[in-house]
Amino acid sequence: MKKLILSFIAGCIALTVTAQTKITLNTDLAKTKINKHIYGHFAEHLGRCIYGGMYVGENNTKIPNTAGVRNDVIQALKELKVPNLRWPGGCFADAYQWKDGIGPKEKRPKMVNVWWGGVTEDNSFGTHDFLDLCERIGAEPYLAGNVGSGTVQDLADWVSYVNQPTGSPMSDLRIQNGRKQPWNVKIWGVGNEAWGCGGNMTPEYYANIYRQYATFMKDITPESKLYKVASGASSDDFAWTETLMKNIPHNMMSALALHHYSVLSWKDTKGPSVGFTEAQYFKTMDEAWKMEEFVTKHSTIMDKYDPEKKIDLIVDEWGGWYETDAEGKGALYQQNTMRDAMIAGLTLNIFNNHADRVRGANLAQIVNVLQAVILTNEEKMLLTPTFHVMKMYNVHQDATLVPMSIDSPTYEFNGKKLTAVSSSASKDASGALNISLTNIDFRKSHEVTINLRGEDFSKVSGQILASTNISDHNTFEQPNKVSVKDFSGAKLEKGVLKLTIPAYSVITLKVSK
């Protein structure tokens, strides 16, 4: 009995003991810009992302809106400083006929969303609605073109419709539909997931298709010089990247996409969004950490063909993916917990630290779908833990990456190990240093020592996102259960920062002179 009691006490101590993480920041070697577009978002015609999420209709008197888009959503997206927003898909993009979403709304033909629940849509949210929303929130639009079922002419016409000032049939049609000035849309996806729902193509075939479509997507004005994104690989399909880099002329391609989700399994259960086990949590973190491997290896292939790094890597779909009971109009709705905050913090650290090649990304998705930053229910709206992390991290947008070395203990489960603490840092225009830390450890807090070399700093402040349970989340009854708090636990002395980061938490620090 005495041995059992001693074993129990020892186990409790093991759960609470802190581990040591050591970081060195070379503040005088900062030179690479962290492109703000790494903090992009994604809005697909899927479930309640558009209809019943962002868009509630112009005639809705119950929910305050501007041109049918919820005012609370608009305000939240402004707070996030969303740099770009991708639309209309996703898989939906390669079934979407953009001309059905313009003109008088009462005359627009309906369509069946064949990819997500077979829901009938009335096309009331279309090109004008989306591009006007982007203007309101200060985001650059990222239009995903239909290559899977659309024609070259369809895509060329869309470019002309949104970018040609005057003098073409498409510009005349836009003006007739109430928009005199062009939107000058720069970012264009030439298809989506061409290896799957975008056409089940081989990489060789898609490379040729890309060349054909991209040829007819013309720069119309200097203000609308097109940034063309090729449909890239899924996770570890390195052969896809190799084939595209080899076969697409580099002067025709601005960026290459990559998709990777932190999902337990594509064949079996994806697990619950709340009430998951530690085994499921560990597997999700393992999948999230794979982003480091995938970004590194795809970048290495790109370096082989593009050593000057002129072509960007754009991770335009990422996030957590779990089971949902919702179908049709509620497809892929899932709750958002502290686990999702871990995915967000870890992934953004990876992107920041690969800023020399990763120059854009899009979290999937923005409202009510997958790892959403916003959830809505009729007139109610809440901000998720992921929203808070994205907002905490937006200090890195267009800041200068500070090189670092990090030595972190591991988070261990059933004999497997993952790096527990990840970090990234940048210098902003004022010269202040912003440091982000994420501890994915399910059980242990970590003592962190940060050596600041190259410059002298005297002040430190911070914020923390933490909670008492990894499944904690915000609900419409308790919308602020998980929220950001001020963090005063960092101490700065003689160029050394010391703090303790709790288990499954995110901290951002601002260090100034």
For this structure, is 317 an active site residue? Answer: yes
Q: Looking at 194-236, which runs of residues are DSSP E strands?
A: 227-234
For this structure, is 447 an active site residue? Answer: no
Q: How many CA atoms lie within 13 A of 188 on its CB side?
A: 28
Only one residue has tokens 């203990």, namely 409
Rounded to an integer, what distance in angstroms lies between the CA atom of residue 327 and that of residue 324?
Answer: 8
Q: Which pair of tokens denotes residue 411? A: 């988070």
Nearest to 292 by CA among 369, 350, 215: 350
Q: Give the bridge partners for 473, in sequence order.
A: 337
Q: Could you tell me which residues come within 8 angstroms of residue 293 by beta carbon, excluding any fewer than 6 positions away?
A: 236
Do residues 363 and 371 lie in contact, with contact meaning Cβ atoms separated by under 8 Å? yes
Of the residues 193, 223, 327, 379, which is catalytic? 193
Rounded to an integer, what distance in angstroms lies between the CA atom of residue 97 and that of residue 102?
Answer: 10
Q: Give the bridge partners for 55, in sequence order.
A: 51, 69
Q: Give the bridge partners for 230, in sequence order.
A: 190, 256
Do residues 63 and 70 lie in contact, with contact meaning Cβ atoms separated by under 8 Å? yes
DSSP letter string, 391-456 = HHHGGGTT-EEPPEEEE-PEEEETTEEEE-EEEEEEE-TTS-EEEEEEE--SS--EEEEEEEESS-
Q: Give the bridge partners for 234, in sequence order.
A: 259
Do residues 459 and 498 lie in contact, with contact meaning Cβ atoms separated by under 8 Å? no
Q: Which pair of tokens denotes residue 363? A: 């979290």
Q: Could you tell me which residues come within 8 angstroms of residue 334 by beta carbon, excluding any fewer than 6 positions away?
A: 273, 320, 321, 322, 323, 324, 370, 371, 372
Do residues 318 and 364 lie in contact, with contact meaning Cβ atoms separated by under 8 Å? yes
Cα–Cα–Cα angle for 104, 107, 112, rounded to 5 degrees: 115
Of the residues 317, 323, 379, 447, which is catalytic? 317
| Residues noted as catalytic | 193, 317
